[in-house]
Structure 1
Amino acid sequence: MFRGVNPINLDAKGRMAIPARYREQITGCCDGCLVATIDPDDRCLLLYPLQEWEEIQKKIEALPSLNPVARRLQRLLIGHATDLDMDANGRLLLPAPLREYAGLDKKIVLLGQGRKFEIWSESRWAETRDEYLQVAEGAEMPEEMQSLSL
């Protein structure tokens, strides 16, 4: 289970260090094998342990390829999916095309989302978070959430 907001610096080669608190869990669940792809709705990356990604990819592949929306998702998500291996120092090399898509430079944010991470430019995440908070002020709580005690 991945959670939390983690500020990280990318090095000059495009490598990011996975925070130490996640490394053992990533090694245990997928032997350091991860998959990164683009988020088609937001300019960020999605980072999955290999097994999680394989389940999602099966579902995406099963979508009807003659449906234009399904085909778009197949091309974007599977087409950009890239296998990444965490090195002995807990680092991942993010390929240039993925970094460019998400606008990643020196300062990034690794955002835990349960069974996956999102990787954001620090400034884009701050803007998006603030937009979410503004929208939430006037939004009606979904019925499923009303029974939760926070």
Structure 2
Amino acid sequence: MDRFVSTYQARLDAKGRISVPAGWRALIARDGLEHLYCHPALDLPALEAGGQALMAGIDALVERYPPYSQAREELASALYGGIETLKMDPEGRVILSERLRAHAAIRDEIALVGLGRSFRIWEPERFRAYLAEATAKVRALRQTQGDQQATR
């Protein structure tokens, strides 16, 4: 496995820990990490998580703005400043802080959703609603693109 793919359902244990899927742990370990990076998504009630690819994506996004610009400073503060480094125990579990759980409205269950270079952690009902809306938008986009290609 070379990407974070699929969706997994899991429960938080009594200590607030979640288990990272074994294949995903291998991706993190390949980066030379014993932890993962996690931050509240800026525009969704979910958490963004991953390893070096997540950080490289943030670096690239921040670097698109001129040095010392207000936009760059704000983006860097929001992203880098919101990251928590979650140490993995030998069983591949990490503890989600209260701040992270509150942002995503996570209580006792989660959905881990692969995004290729990173993954999201959702409260399962919120993810189902988001996925239904996203799927409807993709279907509409496909229909629109199909109609445009047919008229060419």
Fold-level similarity (TM above 0.5): yes
Q: Distance in 1 between matches of 2:12 and 2:126?
A: 15
**What is the CA-CA distance between 1:79 and the residue it aligns to?**
1.6
**What is the CA-CA distance between 1:44 and the residue it aligns to?**
0.6
Residue 132 of structure 1 aligns to a residue whose secondary structure is helix
Residue 23 of structure 2 aligns to a residue whose secondary structure is helix
Instruction: Look up the match of 1:67.
Output: 70
Instruction: Look up the match of 1:147.
Output: none
Matched, 1:10 2:12: yes
**What is the CA-CA distance between 1:123 and the residue it aligns to?**
0.6
Aligned residues: 142
Q: Distance in 2 between matches of 1:38 and 1:79?
A: 10
Matched, 1:56 2:35: no
**What is the CA-CA distance between 1:135 and the residue it aligns to?**
2.5
Which amino acid in the other structure matches residue 55 of structure 1?
A
Instruction: Look up the match of 2:141.
Output: 139
TM-score, L = length of structure 2? 0.80
**Structure 1 residues 132-141 or 6-15, which shifts more?**
132-141
Q: Distance in 2 between matches of 1:16 and 1:85?
A: 12
Instruction: Indicate the structure with greater strand content.
Output: 1
Which amino acid in the other structure matches residue 57 of structure 2?
I
Residue 110 of structure 2 aligns to a residue whose secondary structure is strand
Instruction: Look up the match of 1:148.
Output: none
Deviations 1:2-27 (A, max 9, x none): 10011111123221001223223322
Which amino acid in the other structure matches residue 81 of structure 1?
I
What residue ranges of structure 1 are gaps of 5+ in the alignment?
144-150
TM-score, L = length of structure 1? 0.81
* Percent of residue pairs bearing the same amino acid type: 27
**What is the CA-CA distance between 1:47 and the residue it aligns to?**
0.5
Contact 1:60-1:74 at 8 Å conserved across structures: no
Q: Distance in 2 between matches of 1:125 and 1:2?
A: 17
After superposition, the Cα gap between the structure-2 partners of 1:22 and 1:59, relative to the gap in structure 1 and judged at 3 Å, is: closer
Contact 2:28-2:50 at 8 Å conserved across structures: no
Which amino acid in the other structure matches residue 56 of structure 1?
G
